[in-house]
Structure 1
Amino acid sequence: MKTLKKFVSYYGPYKAVFLLDLLCAAFISLVDLAYPQLLRELTRTVFTKDGNAILHTIPLIGGILLAAYILQALCQYYVSCQGHIMGARMERDMRAELFEKYERLSFSYYDKNNTGQMMSKLVSDLFDISELAHHGPENLFISAVKIIGSFIFLFIIQWKLAVVLLITVFVMGFFSLRQNRSMHATFVDNRRKIGDINATLQDSLAGIRIVQAFANEDLEREKFRAGNDGFLVSKIDNYHAMGKFNSTNLFFQGMMYLLTMVVGAYLIAKGEMTVEDMAMFALYIGVFVSPIKILVELTEMLQKGMSGFGRFLEVVETPVEIKDAPDAVAMVDPRGDITLDDVSFSYEKEDKVLHHVSMHIPSGKSIALVGPSGGGKTTITSLIPRFYDVTGGSIRIGGQDIRDMKLESLRSNIGIVQQEVYLFDGTIRENIAFGKPDATEAEIHEAAKRANLEEFIDSLPDGYDTIVGERGTRLSGGQKQRVSIARIFLKNPPILILDEATSALDNESEQFIQDSLEKLSTGRTTITIAHRLSTIRNADSIYVIEDGKISEQGNHGELLTAGGTYARYYEMSRN
């Protein structure tokens, strides 16, 4: 009920459309119900009179029916058009809410969840919800009106025959629901199999360069063929179940006509029913058989839609771990000192990644973090912008605890350059401007110039309008890195985090990037993670992080003299 109430709440902004939709649906149903009853009354009254009386009455009745059918057509247009538009708008609202929630969820959520599943919830699941939002209440309402209305009239005409038909309807519904469960099982299998195909396709296309480099196209074709054939088998099972469902319903529909004729004939013979009334029964069977099938199919739609809505709620109701405190304020002193005071951290129930780490980074100074992989260097730099929250101790900037700052204010004052650069599928201009969406053309050009990128851009036929491709595949590693540096120049933050920004580049590219990074670091508080120790020799202070602790601290010369881990790393880098 809680899920259903939550679902109904999304009709809120569209109450008027929804109520008018149901009103139109009711009118459509009532017109269909009225015709057999009108025909019955005409047969018993008007059609028994002489020809002149019939010709005098029929134009009036025909005109009323014509008006009713015109209005019914207009109602059908509203139901088909505006009803679907309402469902599409509800789908849009839910998709916007879901995307907004994805944007606010913390890194810990993305650490545990699959991107493909998140895409499925954002696209295909919401389509099923949209169909349920429109067709669910409408089909339920129309079917209920037609079935209940038909049986009211049937019981008025001849209750004995109506009871026989009602029992037949219950038996039909029983078999239909059983077969519907079978159809549902095959439908679930369909979705799983098409998911396997999508996963294989995404994996193969994303890694197409590796596939072709190893000449393993045949291997990938075989993997795809297996998934594709599996989907075909699942679809065949689905069509077998669908065939049984439709044939059973058709059989019971025939049984209703058969029983109407046999039982009706018996009642006519007994003088308990007229021939005209038996004809009316046949007409009403046609009126309520279709809604019964719609109701049975509605259970499938309900299962699909509500299961998708349940997956939607799983995300929407997921608590946001990293969010603004109720009394959060903007960062007071972005250029203030950064202090880590007895900081500890662990990922949920895992062992601690950081153990009582304390360090002081004076404003405008440059510090470096070195040490073995997995030691906790990247974790430290992820805690400063609050991608994760400390589990012990505190981090302050300018004396202000970062948990008391508004996230937007905190992160807008921090620039991050990572080893693995992410570029959006757009132009070079758009990717640079991501650092400052309202930047002028002159500002974008200046940022590109300071990142040593302008000469490369000028050599391109489309210049700044060059498409970089998905994840920047049309650019080299060094070029992508310079684009990322250009957008940090444009952002112009007082605090800079460099996470192994040159470790994956060749020597020539590294020199270009290093020059850009030195310009970028000037006058900013800079934290650098580096494996190439030659890039951090001039850092004001170097911290060696091992097993989540600070094992050494000092400048380049002091650490070499100490002869510890840093000295050993430096000696290895020279050989």
Structure 2
Amino acid sequence: MSTSTATPKASNLQIILRLLTYMTPFNNIMITSLVARIIRCCGQAAVLGIAAASVGLYINSAEPGVVNWDVIWTQAKWIAFFGTIVGFGSYIENYTGHYVAFRILAAFRDKFYYAMLPLAPAKTSRLQSGDAVSRVMTDCERIEPFYAHTIAPAIAAVFVPALILVWCWTVDESLVYVLLPFYVANTVLLPWLVSKLGGDGVEYRQQLGEVNGFVADSIQGVRDTVAFGYEKKRAEELYNMGATMQKGQDKLYGADANQRGLAEVFITVGILASAWWGIELALAGVIDPLVELPAVIAVSIVGFYLSVGLANNFTDYRVSLIAARRLFAMMDETPAVQDTAKGPVAGPVDSAISFDNVSFEYDASDDQWSRKKKIFDGFSFDLPAGKHFALVGPSGTGKSTVVNLLLRQWDPQSGNISIGGHQAQEFPLEDLQDLFAVVSQRSFIFNDTLKENIRMGSYDAADAEIQAAAEQAGLGEFLAASPDGLDTQAGERGSKISGGQRQRVAIARAILKDSPFVLLDEATSALDVETELSVMTALKKLSEGRTTLTIAHRLSTIVDSDEILVMLEGKIAERGSHQELMALGGWYAKMFAMQQDEVDTTLTS
């Protein structure tokens, strides 16, 4: 199944208008860039026209044996003058055009990031990491030509040839009738041909995202790939995906090559037409064959090359629109959870939790992603404030879903979830998230220092507070032995530190956050026995005085919980202390007996 999100069914005009809204703060600078381009192009036409006419002017004024320096210097001054204008205009155009483009891209990335935050994790989990990176980086970069190489060339492709035609009218109005059809063909017909030859390119960009996702998976999983001897098979799959993508790429950029070839043909025919008609006018005595004729041909050539400006950039322009569609597709996704709270919750909020007749199914409204199975159907339980609870049961019975719903990463289809006597929807999402400190099996460690990773718990925390949290989480001995202490680099996904240290960093974050609720979602399941024992000590310190919900598979790690809840098939099947559940002789007692091996004996000793 493709991981790409469907692109919005908006017209190109709607996409263009939406892209232009990002340019609004920079309109004056973009107008400056456009004016500079027009001035530069007109200057180029003037330089070529003056240079072409100079020879005729000199011949017409020549006297045998006399060098006419007046004509030479006059023409040289005019060429130098317009050449300076061309250089100045080129500098202003390029500087201002890219100034606007890069700042728009920075704002666009920022807006895209903030648009994705409400979608996480319900909608973002559908994207492979490589596809997500492709959208944020590659697609954003592909929008740059729209601002830097499309807007100004498109307007200049119309405006400058129009000025050239006005000048030609002053020479002889018939020249306009000869040149105008070729200018229109270059400006309108060529882009239309490119669009017909190259397809829309949407499928190619989606395939590119999938290839990026596949490559990201391959790099991240290279250790297992090599260990299982799967390298050749993985390489073969990548080659096949690349070959499929290349077909769309060949069509897209093949059209660009065809366009450029056709453009040269159109320009050549146009030049021949202007030369032919100019010669006819010269023979009829209407224009000077040595001054006006070469000037008309030279200036019309500039007009021809400018009139294909839009077509020459048409492939980049279309790729920009395709990239924008992919970005807007993600930005326009409706969040799974809407923040409808109008303000902070009034009154006291204790640390009790209640699920009342909750029914929930992941992606129930999306046929493509729906699992067609309810996780909860009438699920209810209560957790009084200030106690340590454990949630256990077989895999897939909905334990982690409880955490997802408490954090409002998803909302139930029916039923109520209350926190401290208030409906979860009454809390602004930011306030709700502040209530919970979470330590999970997959707590993410960023490629930064340990200090900055821990600081996520409280961005304004002082270094001393971070140090205290780290020591409370059991990192003191490690930091004392490390030359850089808290400035030690964690590496990508915490690759430079051990699994136990990664979990302690996550615990230190939670300690620093100092929230009334603690959610421990399989926080020690990936650790060895000895490491788990020391991490459990840190977790107990974190849980002191807080309502704590621990999800665990290894039952010996939660025997000292105030109350243990057993989930079977989305329901609370058993509930009580360790001793009570053992006496009950149900699922918990049977599983605990099965887990009494050497590992658990070590943990409970």
TM value normalised by structure 1: 0.88
- Which residue of structure 2 lines up, in the alignment, with residue 307 of structure 1? 322
**Aligned match for 1:84, one of 61, 86, 98:** 98
Change (3 A) 1:267 1:302: same
Q: CA deviation at 1:395?
A: 1.9
Give CA deviations for 1:233-280 in whole Å, capped at 9, x if unaligned.
Answer: 887877766554444333343333433444444454455554244323
Q: Is the 8 A contact 1:457 1:463 kept in 2?
A: yes
Structure 1 range deviating more: 189-198 or 268-277 = 189-198
Q: CA deviation at 1:290?
A: 1.4
Corresponding position: 1:449 with 2:471: yes
Output aligned runs, 1:32-111, within 5 Å.
Answer: 32-34=44-46, 63=77, 66-111=80-125
Q: CA deviation at 1:511?
A: 1.0
Give CA deviations for 1:153-200 in whole Å, capped at 9, x if unaligned.
Answer: 334434555544444555666874476347745977876776566444
Structure 1 range deviating more: 174-183 or 154-163 = 174-183
- Which residue of structure 2 lines up, in the alignment, with residue 557 of structure 1? 579
- Which residue of structure 1 lines up, in the alignment, with residue 515 of structure 2? 493
SS in structure 2 at match of 1:567: helix
Aligned residues: 575
- Which residue of structure 2 lines up, in the alignment, with residue 401 of structure 1? 423
What is the alpha-carbon distance in structure 2 between the residues aligned to residue 380 and residue 304 of structure 1? 43
Structure 1 range deviating more: 289-298 or 187-196 = 187-196
What is the alpha-carbon distance in structure 1 between the residues aligned to residue 50 and residue 233 of structure 2? 69
What is the alpha-carbon distance in structure 1 between the residues aligned to residue 433 and residue 167 of structure 2? 69
What is the alpha-carbon distance in structure 2 between the residues aligned to residue 192 and residue 358 of structure 1? 42
Q: Is the 8 A contact 1:29 1:145 kept in 2?
A: no
What is the alpha-carbon distance in structure 1 between the residues aligned to residue 247 and residue 544 of structure 2? 64
- Which residue of structure 2 lines up, in the alignment, with residue 471 of structure 1? 493
Corresponding position: 1:340 with 2:355: yes
- Which residue of structure 1 lines up, in the alignment, with residue 368 of structure 2? none
Q: CA deviation at 1:231?
A: 7.8
Letter in structure 1 aligned against 2:311: V
**Aligned match for 2:299, one of 281, 284, 289:** 284
- Which residue of structure 2 lines up, in the alignment, with residue 146 of structure 1? 160
Give CA deviations for 1:379-420 in whole Å, capped at 9, x if unaligned.
Answer: 112111211122222222221222111222221221111122
Q: Is the 8 A contact 2:450 2:505 kept in 1?
A: yes
What is the alpha-carbon distance in structure 1 between the residues aligned to residue 555 and residue 347 of structure 2? 34
Change (3 A) 1:9 1:409: same
Q: CA deviation at 1:221?
A: 5.1
Q: Is the 8 A contact 2:183 2:303 kept in 1?
A: no
Corresponding position: 1:390 with 2:412: yes
Structure 1 range deviating more: 30-39 or 111-120 = 30-39
Letter in structure 2 aligned against 1:436: S
Output aligned runs, 1:55-454, within 5 Å.
Answer: 63=77, 66-160=80-174, 162-169=176-183, 176-177=190-191, 180-181=194-195, 184=198, 198-220=212-234, 244-271=258-285, 274-275=288-289, 276-330=291-345, 332-349=347-364, 350-454=372-476
What is the alpha-carbon distance in structure 2 between the residues aligned to residue 189 and residue 307 of structure 1? 9
Corresponding position: 1:546 with 2:561: no
Change (3 A) 1:540 1:474: same
Change (3 A) 1:491 1:91: same
Give CA deviations for 1:360-391 in whole Å, capped at 9, x if unaligned.
Answer: 21111111111121111111121112111222
What is the alpha-carbon distance in structure 2 between the residues aligned to residue 153 and residue 71 of structure 1? 19
SS in structure 2 at match of 1:389: coil
SS in structure 2 at match of 1:254: helix
Q: CA deviation at 1:205?
A: 1.8
TM value normalised by structure 2: 0.84
* Identical amino acids, percent of aligned pairs: 28
Q: Is the 8 A contact 2:341 2:427 kept in 1?
A: no
Q: Is the 8 A contact 2:175 2:277 kept in 1?
A: yes
Change (3 A) 1:264 1:2: closer
Give CA deviations for 1:458-509 in whole Å, capped at 9, x if unaligned.
Answer: 2334332222221112222222112211221222221111112222222111
**Aligned match for 2:23, one of 11, 14, 17:** 11
Structure 1 range deviating more: 88-97 or 512-521 = 512-521
What is the alpha-carbon distance in structure 2 between the residues aligned to residue 331 and residue 215 of structure 1? 60
- Which residue of structure 1 lines up, in the alignment, with residue 548 of structure 2? 526
Letter in structure 2 aligned against 1:77: Y
- Which residue of structure 1 lines up, in the alignment, with residue 35 of structure 2? 23
Structure 2 stretches lacking a partner, 5+ long: 1-12, 365-371, 598-605
- Which residue of structure 2 lines up, in the alignment, with residue 460 of structure 1? 482
Structure 1 stretches lacking a partner, 5+ long: none
Q: Is the 8 A contact 2:507 2:539 kept in 1?
A: yes
Letter in structure 2 aligned against 1:294: G
Letter in structure 2 aligned against 1:572: M
Give CA deviations for 1:7-62 in whole Å, capped at 9, x if unaligned.
Answer: 22112111221222222223223334445676799899998668899866876776
